[in-house]
């Protein structure tokens, strides 16, 4: 049994942002796609995330920009770096219209669950299969056989692993070495707007820098909540799971003695998630025959560049257009997808890894030099390689322009 005249049957394993984005772009390209998600309902744990211009332009191409704008907060200022001890502003970058002028889109912040709903709106209901936990893949002459925990089976011509850092599909592609414990952990919590200090409600991405720790906050959910994510020593915490609950008392203790504005914000939090940050090298490959990976399954990265969701969206757009261009040769299409995406995603992955050391300098000469260097900062320009990227340009230079198909 070969590929049908209408193209390959694609099974996407994982119904997070990357998996749903892959399904949305594939469906838009006219490809038969089904998403298999182990949860019985689509929910997104975690809290807030940044939707940078490179992600916004792809959501616009899916026809979901207005839905995003209803739920997100457009940042007026980003990279408002503050000193840990007294809250002194070391640097801030105007965003808003300036970001739009440079990159064609503004920069937004939103709840992960809201972004999941935005992307899901672009996926037809018939393409979703919930309560389907993959346990095995097997190549057969008629395609790849997928077996699920409840005993059901299905066959697909292409399997896309969008099942995160603990990927099952990745075992059938080729694993990197074991992850390394970074010694850091992250806390995430949400503070209701009515309990948060007024300065935290501004449409500003604020980053507090201090010895061995940093903390980021910004409003989300159309201003109804403040997202707080803090990074510090893991101590004996080794659990890597966004659903793991931490102790808000531990979070407050990590930032005891910091500026009053920050400790007031943490005093308003009543619970927190906590997870260990594990460091992973780039995978040696993303694709093996008819099986490929997207998002965190392909390029797990630290959150310090806030690019996890955006890179998954870029993966999804390129994957769909490669398969649409060569529907009768899906293996070649997957190889092309990896070739077009792997270098860029690896570059972002490595840049994210390098950021932690800069943010966590102890007080002293190196810290003072870093703070002084902010006078010459222009992050909106030096992050242009991220924000200005358009997969359409990459595909056009490689012999196929996705923009016409994206605006059909």
Residues marked active site are found at 218
Return d(Cα 189, Cα 302) in angstroms, integer: 18
CB 221 within 8 A of CB 196: no
Cα→Cα distances 233→181, 211, 274, 285, Å: 11, 10, 12, 32
The pair of structure tokens assigned to 369 is 């030099």
The pair of structure tokens assigned to 95 is 């965003």
Torsion of the alpha carbons at 334, 340, 344 and 346, rounded to the nearest 10: 40
- Show the CA angle centred on residue 74, arms to residues 68 and 78, nearest 5°: 135
Which of 95, 104, 92, 103 has its CA nearest to residue 76? Answer: 95
CB 176 within 8 A of CB 286: no
Which of 391, 384, 383, 386 has its CA nearest to residue 314? Answer: 391
Handedness of CA 379, 71, 208, 366 (dihedral sign): negative
Q: Residues 6 or more apart from 259 whose CB is under 8 A from it?
A: 82, 83, 84, 85, 86, 87, 208
Helix (H) or strand (E) holding 396: helix 391-397
CB 70 within 8 A of CB 222: yes
CB 370 within 8 A of CB 358: yes
Residue spans of beta strands (DSSP E) within 249-405: 272-279, 291-293
The pair of structure tokens assigned to 354 is 């390098």
Concatenated DSSP letters of 67-124: HHHHHSEE-SEEEEEEETTT--EEEEEE-THHHHHHHSS--EEEEHHHHHHHHHTTS-
| Beta-carbon-side half-sphere exposure of residue 386 (alpha carbons within 13 Å) | 26
Q: Residues 6 or more apart from 125 whose CB is under 8 A from it?
A: none
């Amino acid at each position: 049994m070969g590929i049908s005249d209408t193209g390959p049957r694609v099974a996407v394993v994982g119904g997070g942002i990357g998996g749903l984005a892959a399904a949305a772009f594939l469906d838009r390209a006219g490809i038969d796609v089904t998403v298999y998600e182990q949860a019985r309902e689509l929910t997104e744990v975690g809290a807030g995330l940044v939707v940078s211009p490179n992600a916004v332009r792809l959501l616009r191409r899916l026809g979901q920009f207005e839905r995003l704008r209803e739920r997100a907060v457009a940042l007026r200022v980003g990279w408002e770096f503050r000193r840990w001890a007294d809250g002194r502003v070391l640097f801030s970058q105007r965003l808003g219209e300036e970001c739009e002028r440079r990159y064609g889109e503004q920069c937004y912040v939103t709840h992960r669950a809201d972004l999941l709903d935005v992307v899901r709106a672009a996926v037809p209901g018939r393409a979703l299969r919930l309560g389907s936990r993959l346990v095995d893949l097997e190549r057969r002459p008629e395609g790849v056989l997928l077996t699920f925990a409840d005993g059901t089976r299905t066959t697909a011509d292409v399997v896309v692993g969008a099942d995160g850092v603990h990927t099952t599909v990745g075992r059938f592609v080729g694993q990197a070495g074991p992850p390394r414990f970074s010694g850091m952990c992250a806390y995430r919590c949400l503070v209701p707007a009515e309990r948060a200090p007024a300065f935290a409600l501004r449409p500003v991405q604020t980053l507090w820098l201090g010895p061995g720790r940093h903390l980021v906050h910004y409003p989300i959910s159309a201003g109804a909540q403040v997202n707080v994510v803090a990074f510090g020593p893991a101590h004996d915490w080794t659990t890597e799971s966004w659903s793991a609950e931490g102790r808000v008392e531990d979070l407050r203790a990590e930032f005891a003695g910091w500026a009053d504005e920050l400790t007031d914000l943490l005093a308003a939090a009543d619970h927190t998630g906590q997870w260990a940050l594990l460091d992973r090298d780039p995978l040696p490959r993303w694709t093996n025959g008819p099986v490929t990976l997207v998002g965190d399954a392909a390029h797990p990265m630290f959150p310090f560049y806030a690019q996890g969701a955006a890179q998954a969206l870029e993966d999804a757009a390129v994957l769909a257009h490669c398969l649409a261009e060569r529907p009768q040769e899906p293996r070649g299409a997957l190889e092309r997808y990896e070739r077009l995406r792997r270098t860029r995603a690896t570059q972002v992955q490595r840049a994210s890894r390098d950021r932690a050391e800069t943010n966590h300098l102890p007080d002293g000469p190196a810290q003072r030099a870093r703070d002084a260097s902010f006078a010459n900062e222009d992050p909106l320009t030096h992050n242009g390689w991220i924000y200005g990227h358009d997969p359409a340009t990459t595909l056009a230079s490689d012999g196929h322009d996705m923009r016409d198909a994206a605006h059909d």
